[in-house]
Amino acid sequence: MANFWIALGLTVFAGMATGIGSILAFFAKRTDYRFLSVSTGFSAGVMLYVSFVEIFFKGSDALVEAYGQRGGQWVNLLAFFGGIALIGLIDNLIPAAENPHETHTEAAFAPLHDPNAPLPDFTALAVESHHHAHQAGVHNHGHREEDHLLRMGLFTALAIAIHNFPEGLATFLAALQDPGLGAAIAIAIALHNIPEGISVSIPIYYATGKRSKAFLYSLLSGLAEPVGAVVAYVALRLVFGGSDAVLPPQIMGILFGSVAGIMVYISVDELLPTSRAYGKGHDSLFGLVAGMAVMGISLLLMS
């Protein structure tokens, strides 16, 4: 039971990092794009290394024990690509204009610190169906634009919340089996969640003028991680748990295989492109290698 609370605490920590992104957007005088590049690259390195070196083989070991050498490896392979398919489906349900991993320019942050700065061009994405949308540099605070901005922010928050369900389950399951491993994944996902918090808070703030409301929605979108993890885990225990309410090894094996696939997809499709977009030169590569090195050393020290 002690591991349950550790796993839950780590998942809450990872989810609440969206609030950190919101705070950085509002109070940082200048956005440190190099930090975002290196940190997201670092997160990708941690996720890729731990997925291929640790989690994938944890799933394989459990499934080989349940189904034999050949059968277990096939089930693990199917679970891995099933995880990729699941997160890919969720990702494709997010409209492009509300994609939380779009890169934000300095223009997107300018009105947060200077009320006289023009609203950024990304607002046009929310009103692209209306040809009379404002031009860059022209202020337009009409209700229609504000409504579209608010809807954009809320859709982004909802998209991130849905997206965070499998991420929360990944952190929770890893921490439940191995708190040290779970802590490393929680840190990686927390770094990944910082840009998402920025994506939620900016349009909501521009629509409402309230930092508190923007921060609240940003935080709530991240808290979907622990909520999703606990709901999914309880449902799995009720359906597959035995008399002691423990998940059978084959179910844990399939979950670990799926989690590995989910984390690889997040790294390759979201984190690495975001890291490259924010960085210069080899910033993203430095972050990637550092993440792998830290994860590799941590696993050796914990073994």
pLDDT digit string (tens) for 71-101? 999 999 999 999 999 888 877 776 544 555 5
Q: Which strand (E) or helix (H) includes residue 182?
A: helix 179-208
Beta carbons of 118 and 145 less than 8 angstroms apart: no
**Model pLDDT, residue 137:** 39
What is the rounded distance in angstroms from the CA atom of residue 22 to the CA atom of residue 179?
Answer: 28
In 10 A of CB 243, how many CB atoms?
5
Place of tokens 């708190």: 179
- Residues 186-212 have a mean pLDDT of 77
pLDDT class for 152, splitting at 50, 70, 90? low
What is the rounded distance in angstroms from the CA atom of residue 181 to the CA atom of residue 170?
Answer: 11
Beta carbons of 278 and 103 less than 8 angstroms apart: yes
Beta carbons of 87 and 271 less than 8 angstroms apart: no
Beta carbons of 300 and 50 less than 8 angstroms apart: no
- Residues 251-280 have a mean pLDDT of 85
pLDDT at 208 over 80: no
Q: In terms of pLDDT, which residue wins out, 257 or 178? A: 257
**Model pLDDT, residue 125:** 41
**Model pLDDT, residue 28:** 56
pLDDT tens for each residue of 241-262: 655 556 788 888 898 899 899 8
- Residues 217-233 have a mean pLDDT of 84
**Model pLDDT, residue 75:** 96
Beta carbons of 18 and 200 less than 8 angstroms apart: yes
Mean pLDDT of the chain, nearest integer: 75
pLDDT at 196 over 50: yes
pLDDT at 212 over 80: yes
Q: What are phi and psi of 110, to 5 degrees?
A: -55, -45
Q: In terms of pLDDT, which residue wins out, 283 or 121? A: 283
205: Cβ contacts below 8 Å, ≥ 6 apart: 26, 112, 211, 213, 214
Q: What are phi and psi of 222, to 5 degrees?
A: -75, -30
DSSP state of 136: T
- Residues 225-242 have a mean pLDDT of 80
What is the rounded distance in angstroms from the CA atom of residue 164 to the CA atom of residue 111?
Answer: 29
**Model pLDDT, residue 261:** 92
Strand blocks (E) in the chain: none
Beta carbons of 276 and 89 less than 8 angstroms apart: no
pLDDT at 114 over 60: no
